[in-house]
Structure 1
Amino acid sequence: MKKDQRVKKSQEFSKVFKEGTSFANRQFVLYVLAKEGQEQWRVGLSVSKRVGNAVVRNRVKRLVREVFQSATDELRPGCDYVVIARVPAKDLSYSEVRRSLFHVMRKAKVIHKPKRSSE
């Protein structure tokens, strides 16, 4: 994932939390903030220490990044997304993470076209 596709600064996270809209399921919370003049989407990740040790947290972040990377063509551009992983996310496989995130994305209506494969 490219650097310009990431939400990194604390002020950027705070702005998404304050001004964005949240959607959630058991495994993830997704905050969405539409940004005027921004051509592509950006994603920020938050995985608490309650989820697990550093190895577990990094694995969850890798899986979430991979799902976003694979959904590049389907995601609504011009938005900042912040994903907060909840404790149950630590035990999920890639396909389960993908299914769960797509569920939240559909609730948020940020997917252009429904993907018919392996969901």
Structure 2
Amino acid sequence: MKKEWRIKKNDEFSRVFNEGVSVANRQFVLYVLEKEGQEHFRIGLSVSKKLGNAVTRNRIKRLIRTVFQEEKEALLKGRDYVIIARKPAADLDYEQVKRSLLHVCKKARILKRGRQ
């Protein structure tokens, strides 16, 4: 993903955590913060060392990024999203990750009309 589509700074993460709304399922927690005047969404990823070694954590992040890249047209713009992976996410394949993330997105009501 391009740099302007990512959340990297600690204070940006903190703002989303403190001011945003959270929705969760077994595999992921999604924080959503609406941002005025932002023409696209941004995502931040948090994958703890408890989930596994660096290879496992990077694999999870790569799968999450791929899902958001594929579904970028269906997601609402002008928001910051922070995704926290939980322990069960380490054992999922791509289709399961996609299904789980879309489930969380539907719960958060951030998919455009045709996708809900």
- Identify the TM-score tier after normalising by the shorter chain: over 0.9
- Which residue of structure 1 aligns with residue 69 of structure 2? 69
**After superposition, what is the alpha-carbon deviation per residue over 1:61-112, rounded to whole angstroms, capped at 9, x for unaligned?**
0000000000010000000000000000000000000000000000000000
Runs of 4+ in 1 over 3 A off after TM superposition: none
Q: Secondary structure at the match of 2:110?
A: coil
Query: TM-score normalized by structure 2?
Result: 0.98
Gaps of 5+ in 2: none
Q: Secondary structure at the match of 1:30?
A: strand
- Which residue of structure 2 aligns with residue 57 of structure 1? 57
Q: Secondary structure at the match of 2:50?
A: coil
- Which residue of structure 1 aligns with residue 7 of structure 2? 7
Distance, in Å, in 2 between the alignment partners of 1:41 and 1:35 is 9
- Which residue of structure 1 aligns with residue 28 of structure 2? 28
**How far is 1:114 from its partner?**
1.3
**How far is 1:21 from its partner?**
0.2
Backbone CA RMSD of aligned residues: 0.8
Distance, in Å, in 2 between the alignment partners of 1:87 and 1:37 is 35
- Which residue of structure 1 aligns with residue 81 of structure 2? 81
Gaps of 5+ in 1: none
Identity %: 62
**After superposition, what is the alpha-carbon deviation per residue over 1:14-46, rounded to whole angstroms, capped at 9, x for unaligned?**
000000000000000000000001110000000
Distance, in Å, in 2 between the alignment partners of 1:80 and 1:7 is 8
Letter in 2 for 1:42: R
**2:107 matches 1:107:** yes
Larger helix percent: 2
User: How many residue pairs are counted as aligned between the two chains?
Assistant: 115
Distance, in Å, in 1 between the alignment partners of 2:54 and 2:78 is 31
Distance, in Å, in 1 between the alignment partners of 2:61 and 2:10 is 18
